[in-house]
Chains A and B, each alone.
Chain A
Amino acid sequence: MEALHVVSALLMFSGVFFMIAGALGIIRFPDFYTRLHAAGKCDTLGEVLIILGFMVYEGFSFLSVKLLFLSFFILLANPVGTHALIKAAYLTGVKMWKKEESR
């Protein structure tokens, strides 16, 4: 394997680690808002890291520009969707979690 392939494999595996950590947070957190916190940050970072790994593997070409557009769109669209969801939850009155309550 070349050096650039090692760098792209490292980027991809770090992205997979962040995605699995986000999924674990979605399962384990007690509240809707905290679950959305886990889903909004970990997944965005993981997907952008994986696509960055593919860009390093591809080199400088037309496909790499398309992958850059895809990662930029994910980086722009995922927080907007998270914000819309949390605004809908707050306006319709989803209860927040207090420390004494059970999960």
Chain B
Amino acid sequence: MEMLDVFLAVGILITVSILMTMYRVFRGPTTLDRLMATSVIGTKVVVLLVVIGYLFERPIFIDIPLTYAMLNFVGTLIVAKYIERGELWKPYT
């Protein structure tokens, strides 16, 4: 069993877990369920991009998962703050 087969199996299993999480995106009772499931899918996709970079023997593509992780984190924080307060920015009174 070569190492590329291990990478392929790990990528396929990560994809299966992403598809299992998509159930909660489609059928979440509240909005926060869908937001949580999309955040989890984003952090799974970060690892999937690392696996794809090693699978295609271009591991220098690690910069793309780094950027994607930061964007996913900022997006989750901003949407959670918007749901909590009802607005994003309040001027001083």
A interface residues with partner B (beta carbon < 8 Å): 1, 5, 9, 12-13, 16, 19-20, 22-24, 26-27, 32, 35-36, 39, 43, 47, 50-51, 54, 57-58, 63, 66-67, 69-70, 73-74, 77-78, 80-81, 84-85, 87-89, 91-92, 94
Which residues of chain B are near A24, meaning CB under 8 Å? 20
Q: Which residue on chain A has the smallest CB distance to residue B29? A: A32
> What are the nearest 10 A-B pairs in CB distance?
A88-B84, A23-B20, A84-B80, A23-B17, A77-B73, A16-B13, A88-B80, A81-B76, A9-B6, A19-B17
Is A66's CB under 8 angstroms from B69's CB? no
Within the complex, which residue of B1, B16, B40, B50 is in contact with A39, where a contact is CB–CB below 8 Å? B40
Within the complex, which residue of B6, B44, B54 is in contact with A19, where a contact is CB–CB below 8 Å? B44
Question: Main SS of the interface on chain B?
Answer: helix
New contact pairs (4) apart from A23-B18, A70-B65, A81-B77, CB-CB < 8 Å: A24-B20, A35-B33, A84-B80, A91-B84
B interface residues with partner A (beta carbon < 8 Å): 1-3, 6, 10, 13-14, 16-18, 20-21, 23-24, 30, 32-33, 35-37, 39-40, 43-44, 46-47, 50-51, 54, 59-60, 62-63, 65-66, 69-70, 73, 76-77, 80-81, 83-84
Is A51's CB under 8 angstroms from B76's CB? no
Within the complex, which residue of B36, B62, B77, B84 is in contact with A67, where a contact is CB–CB below 8 Å? B62
A67 to chain B, nearest CB (A): 7
